[in-house]
Structures are given as structure tokens and as C-alpha cells.
Amino acid sequence: MGARMLSYSSLLGLCLCGCIAAAASAPLPVENYAALPYVQSMALSPDGARLAIVHNLDGMSVLVVRRPEDEQFVPLLTGDNERGNIGWIRWANTERLLVGTRYTALRGTTFGLETRLLSAPAGGGDPRSLLRDKEEDRWGRGDKGTYIPQFQDQIIDMLPDDRNQVLVAWDLEEVHSPGVYRANLSNSRRRLVHRHVAGYSEWFTDRQHRLRVGVERQQGQVIIHARAVDSDQFRPLWRYPAVSREVVEPLGFGVNPNVMYVRAYHEEHLAVFKVALDQPDRRELVLALPDRNVEGRLVHSQLTGEAVGVLPPGGRMVTWDPQYLAFTAALERAFSGQRVSLVGFSRDEQRYLLFTSGPGNPGTYYFGDRKARTVSPVAYRYPSLPEAGVLGSQPMSYAARDGSTVRGALTLPAGVEAKGLPAIVFPQGPSTASTTEVFDYWSEFFANRGYAVLKVNFHGSAGYGVDTLRGSIHDWDRTMQDDVVDGARWLVEQGVAEPGRLCLVGASYGGYAALMGAAQAPDLFRCAVSFAGVTDLVDLVDYANRFDDDEVVRALVGNDTAQLRNDSPVGQAEKLQVPVLLVHGSDDRVVRVHHGRAMRRALEAAQKPHRYVEQPGGDHLLSSQAQRLELFREMQAFLAEHLPVR
């Protein structure tokens, strides 16, 4: 694609820097919530002069580059979000972007996720795969019979002093055992820096760009290896079971090449520590958060090179650096009542990107200039959603039957008393880090239709500590389900929900929880909705063993086939007394479509009321806008029939 300059207003028909659309009467169109966000991600160039933005437009993802002060942009890459999509973007230097792309493909007899790493000239021109051979197309997809690494976008070091090269991990010598390569961004040439080592799956460099740490994973064990600055030999520092409280996860280095930042357990939650590599048994606590794990990648100061915080994927940067803390506090005062997250800085840290969200604001990106003392909006995540359609949620907690505290979030419809409402209980899966994000399009959609929504961060979800996580996931049909049912009863006891007028809605493991909750407490719920839900634990274990160490799978889920079958929704179909909506994508690579089909057959055999919708080409993440819209329209119609708002 050539370096054409276009404008947002002419091509997209949307006002990027104007006001969010005027308020509309409820209920708002399904598209306002279920359409893919207009802005998927954004990155600031090292000189602070340009923005790279991934937009979603009519179901397509489009990567563009523009200057903060105007609407003219250069389009670089387009994905259809079905055959392939843009996963992440990152500036390699002021003139070139790195782009991580994703798509599904058949390897042997198994469909799985593939990632590719593209280099894109910021001024326009064709992006190219960094691991491009003559057999591959421009997305890095190869012909049959040619071995190409499945995962190609693991960047080890950006090499800021070498504008045209990066260090990447590719398993070109041994499948699933990557070596380290220096890759040229312009011509896709590569040079082997360090050969693969059997069992090693990750590599880390220090801030001086020397390879220092390797992570080995084999037979349910993790071994962290490191080498001194002046040595070629790696030696083991830590060895532990993959699911245990002894975990030590390398994050990276600060300026000191002999001190590494790691994530390990502090009391019941993961925290960040500093460890001198010559004294691996001594740790200095850097950051711990109350009642939850510290998640995300290490963030460094552009000026000093020192580690200053962590940034979760799509989340809010958490810092321990005094200057960053003071700057973030000042921004929070300026945007009172909003959640504020720093997205990125220019190299001199005078220009920055900021993301805010909160009640009335589903997400706004701002460009700041510290010298000019200005902050200006540059993009809205959901520009068609009016302020009145974003209610926000309130964190809450309740006592479970075992005496423990369960956390969650409550979203209430506007304009009505929070008493005797129809309610949605929305269990979150183990991969969900938080239930208190200000804008959640599922909860906002249901609340806009008049439902109270309780998101339940049940035991086994992220943030409760390793003992709870291991025990709860291994105990699929007990502790987690008790938390969900107890949350529904709490809603009724508080008077928020009308007895007998609750519906369980969940996705992935939340879909499992919705089905099992409805089976266990048929007197409490009116209906159940499961998107991409786990319904067959035996199949889940068998399928997981194709990709993960079987020791890890057994530690998390168990291996008692009879118990797994009994704890599966397909084995509980006879107990379901309420209507069920099942929606599953045919190309789901996380929870196979087998689960949806098996549950449909079980409900048919038990002659239970249900509706099954299979989405051709649909995945686990609702990457396709058509898939997402279909799901939400199905849920709207199902709830209107079985749990109407009076």
C-alpha cells in the first residue's frame, strides 16, 4: 500500500477529535455495545511526533499512522478479523513499526493459533514478515510441506541502539525449542545469536542487550537458568513445580546487569521483587498489591533505562518509581473520577499517551505535551456510545458459605430503584484478572436493557492466591460453583434482585459455571446462557494435553475420569430445568466446538428446552464483529423471552 494521506472524516465518516455522540434514549442499539471498539490499540513514536493506531472499521482492523495534531493518516495494513487480525503494534524506531499478527491454521490434525511478526514502514509501503522465505506470503503463511515456526512474534530485545535490528526467538532448529536470532527489519535477513537449548522456551536479555536468562519447562517442572556477565555457562537458579507457590517468573532487568526483577508470591499474591543473581535466595520486595496479583510486563524509563513499573495487557500501568507516581497522581487529579493509565512516552518523556475511562466514558485516548502543558483528546474507543450508555460498576463483596470473602462488581440500570430487579449473574473465568474495570461492554449492555448485573470473581479466578487457584480449579464442581450461587442469593437477600428472576450468563469457564449453577440451583434461576462454554471436562483434559505438559494439566484440573465426567455439564443435563442458550464458534481453538455440540446432544436426549447456535468460523475471543453482533442479538432475544424486563 502506497504512502497515501487520507483523512478520518472523509474515509471513516466519524469525528475523531470532536465530542462523543449525543445521548440517546435507552435501550441503545446492540451495535453500540457489541461492535468491535473503534480504537483497538495505540502507540506513540519514539520522537513523539506520530501515532500508530489500530482501528476497527466495519469489521475490519486497519493500522494507520498519523500526527497527533491533525486527522490526516497513512494506512499501512488491513486485517479482516476472521482469517487474520492485528494482535499488537510497537514502534521499532521513528520510521518503522513492528506488528504482531494472528490467524488460525491446521498443523497436522489440529487447528491452532499462529502468530507472525511484520515490519511496516511508517511512511507507507508493503509490510513484510521478518521470517519471510520464498514459500511465504506477505503475512508469513507458508505452503504445505514447509516447516514454519508457529509462534514468531516473541521479541526478546528491541535493540534501541541498532535502529534496524531486533532480537527474536524462533524455533528454526528444533520444534518448540527456540533459538535467539538477530533479525533485520528491512530485508528479513537473520543471524543466529544463540542456538536452541532443549526444553528452553523463553529468553531474557539485560539492559546492555546480553543474553542472560533462559526458562526451561519440562515434565511439570520449571527451571530458571542464568549466566554471569562474563560467563558463557548457564546455571540453574530456581526449580519448582509449574503450579506451586515456589513460582519465580523472570520479568527482566533494570540498569544493574546483576539484578533481575521477578514475580513471586508475597503472602497470598504475586508481587514484584528484585534479586541479585549471585544471591538467588534473597529477594527485595518492590511492589505488592492488596488482595490481588501484580500482573503485566516490565516497563522501563525512556530516559534512565531503569525499571519503573508493570503494564498488564490492556490494563493500567502500576509504578513504584517516585517520579512516575507523582506524575500519575497529578493526572488523576486532573481527570477526577476517571481511571487514568499511561500508555507510552516519547524517548525524552516530554510527550505521552494517556487512556482514561469511567462513568460516561467508555475510553478516551489523550496526547500530552509536558513542555507545552497541554493534554488533548486524539481518539475515542467507542465514539458512537453516548455518555448515558456508560453507567460504570461498583466493587462489592459478599461472604461465601465457607466464610471466605468473594469479590465482584455490580452494575445497575439507570433511572430505576435498585430493588426487585431482573438480574444477570455473570461469573468470570480463571483468566480474568479483574471484575472492576469501569467499562465492560457485556455488563453495560445488560444494564442498558434494565438488568442488574453481578460479576463474580469466584475463587479460582486470578488474584486469590496460588493455594486457592490450585484447589479451586482442581475442584471444578464445588468451590467455584458455590461462590456463583452464593452471589445470586446475596443479590436476592439485598433486595436488588427479585426472587426467581435471575439468569446466569457466562463465557468460556464462565459458560461452564452458568450451566452448572443452573443445574445445581434450579429454584434460583430462570435461564442460562453459555458462550464458548466448557461442557466436557474429560475432553478439556485430553485436548489440553496436546499443548501443555500433562503434569500441569493434572495439577490444575485433575485426572479422575469418573469425577471429571460427573463434574461436566454434559453429565448434568437431566438436572437442568430452565431454558438454555448455547453459542459456540466452529473455529474455537481454546474450547473446541465439540463442547457446544456435546451439550446440545445431551439436552436433546434429556428433552430439555434449549437453543444452540454455531457460528461458522467463530473463535473464542469474539474477534469477528459479525460473530459478536450475532451473539448479543441472540442473548437479547433469549432474555426478552425468558427474563423480560417489566
Quick check: is 74 in a domain?
A: yes
Q: How far apart are CA 646 and CA 636, in angstroms?
A: 15
Closest alpha carbon to 324 in 346, 349, 348, 347: 349
Instruction: Decide if 253 is inside a domain.
Output: no
- Establish if 157 belongs to a structural domain: no
Q: How many helices (H) and strands (E) does the chain have?
A: 12, 36
According to DSSP, residue 359 is labeled T
Domain endpoint, select from 385, 418, 451: 385
Segment 444-488, tens digit of pLDDT = 999 999 999 999 886 554 443 334 333 344 455 566 778 899 999
- Looking at the fold, whether 430 and 520 belong to one and the same domain comes out as yes
- From 385, 419, 452, the end of a domain falls on 385
Q: Would residue 327 be called left, alpha or beta, if left means φ above 0 and alpha means ψ between -120 and 50 degrees? A: alpha
The answer to whether residues 377 and 419 belong to one domain is: no
600 belongs to a structural domain: yes
Instruction: Name the burial class of residue 500, with classes exposed (0-12), middle (13-18) and buried (19+) by CB atoms within 10 angstroms of its CB.
Output: exposed
Is the distance from CB of 596 to CB of 544 less than 8 angstroms? no
Do 375 and 398 reside in the same domain of the chain? Answer: no
What's the CA angle centered on 322, arms 366 and 156, to 5 degrees? 70
Q: Please indicate, yes or no, whether residues 401 and 374 belong to a single structural domain of this protein.
A: no
Residue 546 sits in the same domain as residue 450: yes
Report the relative pairing of strands 211-218 and 221-226 from DSSP bridges: antiparallel
pLDDT of residue 438: 60
Residue 506: inside a domain: yes
C-alpha cell at 511: 459458560
Return the pLDDT at 83: 79
Judge if 560 and 429 occupy the same domain.
yes
Contacts of 318 (CB under 8 A, 6+ apart): 287, 289, 294, 296, 309, 310, 311
Distance CA 239, CA 342 (A): 35
Q: For residue 630, what is the domain's CATH number?
A: 3.40.50.1820
Query: In this structure, what C-alpha cell is assigned to residue 497?
Result: 434482585
What is the amino acid identity at position 345? F
Parent domain of 531: 391-642
Are both 357 and 502 inside the same structural domain?
no
- In a domain? residue 617: yes
Considering only CA atoms, which of 162, 171, 158, 166 is closest in space to residue 183? 166
Residue 621 belongs to a domain = yes
Residues 512 and 364 in one domain: no
* 357 and 432, same domain (yes or no): no
pLDDT of residue 18: 35
Same domain? For 483 and 376 the reply is no
What pLDDT, on the 0 to 100 scale, is given for residue 556?
61
Write the CATH number for 10.
2.40.128
In the chain, the largest separation of any two C-alpha atoms, in whole Å, equals 73
Tell me the mean pLDDT per 10 residues along the chain, length 646: 45 38 64 93 96 92 94 91 88 95 80 89 91 55 62 94 92 91 92 94 97 93 95 95 90 97 93 96 94 90 94 84 94 92 93 93 95 95 91 88 85 94 84 49 96 83 40 53 90 95 94 93 95 91 64 63 86 95 93 96 97 95 93 98 94
Same domain for 26 and 87? yes
Sign of the Cα pseudo-torsion (577, 643, 612, 541, in order): negative
Domain boundary, last residue among 351, 385, 419: 385
CA atoms of 185 and 619, how far apart (whole Å):
31
The residues, ordered by sequence, that sit 6+ positions from 200 with a Cβ below 8 Å of its Cβ are: 177, 178, 214, 215, 216, 225
Number of domains in the chain: 2
- Give the whole-angstrom CA distance, residue 2 versus residue 165: 23
**DSSP secondary structure, 235-272, as one string:** EEEEEEESSSTT-EEEEEE-SSTTEEEEEEEETTEEEE
Residue 107 in any domain: the answer is yes
Alpha helices in 449-500 (DSSP H): 466-474, 479-493
- 184-227 residue pLDDT tens: 998 888 999 999 999 999 999 999 999 999 999 988 899 999 99
| 365 and 451 share one domain | no
Taken as a whole, the chain contains a residue count of 646
